[in-house]
Structure 1
Amino acid sequence: MRARVRGLGSSLTRSMRSVAEAVVQDPAGCAQLTVTALAERTGTSEATVVRTARLLGYPGYRDLRLALAALAAQQESGAAPAVTVDIAVDDPLADVVAKLAQEEAQTLADTAAGLDLNQLAAAVAALAAARRIDIYGIGASALVGQDLAQKLLRIGLIAHAHSDPHLAVTNAVQLRPGDVAVAITHSGSTGDVIEPLRTAFERGATTIALTGRPGGTSRPKAGGAPVTRYADHVLATSAARETELRPAAMSSRTSQLLVVDCLFVAVAQQTYERAAPALAASYEALAHRHSAR
């Protein structure tokens, strides 16, 4: 929850930030409050409380209260404590390794906890049945896109990753119903990723967005990132915590790769009769190539 609020940054208005900070600082207390009581406690309105809940990735305030109750119980039991560690310039190498490992583990835990399984299942079903899959990503997200494309290719799906914005749009124009387009952007506002996804959406392809700014869970995504406007399914990744020696791209990539692995394994399960022989063939081909050297 704290990581999600931190990642939203300037997306929150002053009044919405008051609500967000209240639920982060006292999840147990806020879980007991009605929407009216929380609005009074934070000096905001009921509408602001509901908008904040949606921006945090929950369909409504009731869902936020349930999540707060679960978080409070987790904190009380001492399970999975939040880790907030910064790396200093003079940290010994052993401390750097330990701190990075803790942060990576927290990022994965936050992503798993915030992943909407209904959205994930819908995305998996679309990918498993797709005639063709296009994946868009820029920078660090392009590396994640390539990873997803390679995984899907190895189980017999036609998947291509595009990091060149011109080629991405050119390919998106060719999509049609039955095809799938996947946009990967942590900020949710990368124009070079949004444009091909919009094109694919308008062509009737099923569209999926992986983003750290999910907003609501149904279109139109009220308060969500621009990429969600053209996404049939939205998969939320953990908000990245950027420090001087650890760019946001590092933690955002970690969370994106977890979602990619979830997609791949679930698609392989659904298409096992086709996926298993395809995987075996790819292993055999690679083994033959290495032995021939």
Structure 2
Amino acid sequence: MTDDVKETSSRVPLGGPRTAPPAPAALAAKVRTLAPSMTRSMQRVAEAVAQDPAGCAALTVTGLAELTGTSEATVVRTARLLGYPGYRDLRLALAGLAAAQQSGRAPAITTDIAVDDPIADVVAKLAHDERQTLADTAAGLDTAQLGAAVTALAAARRTDVYGIGASGLVAQDLTQKLLRIGLIAHAHSDPHLAVTNAVQLRAGDVAVAITHSGSTGDVIEPLRVAFERGATTVAVTGRPDGPVTQYADHVLTTSSARESELRPAAMSSRTGQLLVVDCLFVGVAQRTYAAAGPALSASYEALAHRHGSGRRRA
């Protein structure tokens, strides 16, 4: 390892815990997103506050610990994991969420899709869950982190995007969008190619890792390499406490619908990831509009000409 790489590897990622606690509207989304990665005792606390925010808002830390069969320390740890400095802040958010539910602004949790559901019910349930995922992702998205990521992408010499499986499709979507506005971008789903390309990155480049679990090794490794080479790194993940954030300067958190047999993780996480990708693209297009506008027009004209030529040949 060279001296300059040693120096960049000592960087501290900026994408750590946020100082501002989540708004009440984002609390339910945070519980749904983080519960799978919590300990069982912390899950009991999270489930209690999600199921009865009004009742839990009226409880002291001791009362909630007794209700969930846990300890006061567990309640406080759960509050902090959800993004609140302490239990008092969580109680205030619970009160706000309860008020929203009573006024009808907070949607009810839908039931899972059953094997024998009529197709009309499948459409309705999926549409509801997609809307909820979009709302949860928007509510929990740190716009300061988003703005910083947009700034880095807009000025990047080159952008590499890493994703495996369904996240790889989202990585391709982001790359395709950046290419259409004249930026240099590459999507990597092969872990070996991802690492060998990450070695070529340096300061002024950007690396984006897309992983809902936040623990996909084939995505984390190239991001680590890019981070150590001095590139600006961005993680798009459903687990803001996941290992991928160790090497992320900016963390963009996504939400997803509750997983089930007929709604696997890859399907439930995709909607939130695509929203974040669209936000990144629109932000970059705004920042680079002098060049992005003509590039988009040229791509539209090229596609229109190709389609028109195809119709004439037919």
TM more than 0.5: yes
Aligned to 2:266: 249
For residues 129 and 103 of structure 1, what CA distance do their matches in structure 2 show?
A: 36
Q: 1:207 offset after TM fit, Å? A: 0.6
Q: Please give the per-residue CA displacement for 1:211-262, whole angstroms capped at 9, x wherever unaligned.
A: 1111xxxxxxxxx101111111111111441111121211200110011111
- 1:82-106 deviation digits (Å, cap 9, x = unpaired): 3322111111111111111111111
* 8 Å CA contact 2:166, 2:266 repeated in 1: yes
Query: Per-residue deviation at 1:35?
Result: 6.0
Q: Distance in 1 between matches of 2:143 and 2:94?
A: 18
Aligned counterparts, 1:1-293, within 5 A: 1-2=27-28, 4-31=30-57, 42=68, 43-46=70-73, 48-56=74-82, 58=83, 60-61=85-86, 64-65=90-91, 67-214=93-240, 224-293=241-310
Distance of 2:175 and 2:39 partners within structure 1: 37
Deviation at 1:8, TM superposition (A): 3.3
Give 1:21 shift: 2.3
SS in structure 1 of the partner of residue 235 of structure 2: strand
After TM superposition, the structure 1 stretch with the greater mean CA deviation from structure 2, 88-97 or 28-37, is: 28-37
* Distance change >3 Å, CA 26–CA 87, structure 1 → 2: closer
Q: C-alpha deviations, 1:91-136, integer Å up to 9, x for none?
A: 1111111111111111111111111111111111111111111000
CA RMSD of aligned residues (A): 2.2
Gap regions ≥5 residues in structure 1: 215-223
Once residues 119 and 44 of structure 2 are traced to their aligned partners in structure 1, the CA distance between those partners, rounded to angstroms, is: 38
| 1:92 to 1:15, Cα distance in 2 relative to 1, 3 A | closer
Report the alpha carbon displacement of residue 179 of structure 1 after superposing the two structures with TM: 0.8
Among all aligned residue pairs of Structure 1 and Structure 2, give the percentage whose two residues are the same amino acid.
79
| Distance of aligned partners of 1:30 and 1:270 in 2 relative to their CA distance in 1, 3 Å threshold | farther
Count how many residue pairs are aligned between Structure 1 and Structure 2: 282
Which string of whole-angstrom CA distances, capped at 9 and with x for unpartnered residues, describes residues 43-76 of structure 1?
A: 4234x344323433x2533664554343222212
The aligned amino acid for 1:270 is R
Gaps of 5+ in 2: 1-26
Q: Distance in 1 between matches of 2:219 and 2:162?
A: 6
Match of 2:11?
none
In structure 2, relative to structure 1, the CA distance for the partners of 1:10 and 1:261 (3 Å cut) is closer
How many Å separate the matches in 1 of 2:77 and 2:272?
Answer: 25
TM-score, normalised to structure 1, is 0.88
**1:180-201 Cα deviation digits (max 9, x unpaired):** 1100000111000000000011
Which residue identity is paired with 1:172?
Answer: A
Distance 1:208 1:65, change over 3 A: farther
Check 1:152–1:34 CA distance in 2 against 1; reply closer, same or farther (3 A cut).
Answer: farther
Deviation at 1:31, TM superposition (A): 4.5
- Residue identity matched to 2:139: A
- How far is the alpha carbon of 1:270 from its aligned partner? 1.6
SS of residue matched to 1:142: helix
| 1:283 positional shift | 0.9
Distance 2:204 2:166 in 1: 28
2:111 and 2:52 map into 1 onto residues whose CA distance is: 21
Q: Is the 8 A contact 1:85 1:103 kept in 2?
A: no
Counterpart for residue 217 of structure 1: none
SS of corresponding position for 1:292 = helix
CA distance in 1, matches of 2:161, 2:89: 31
Contact 2:30 2:140 (8 Å CA) reproduced: no
Contact 1:8/1:239 (<8 A) preserved: no
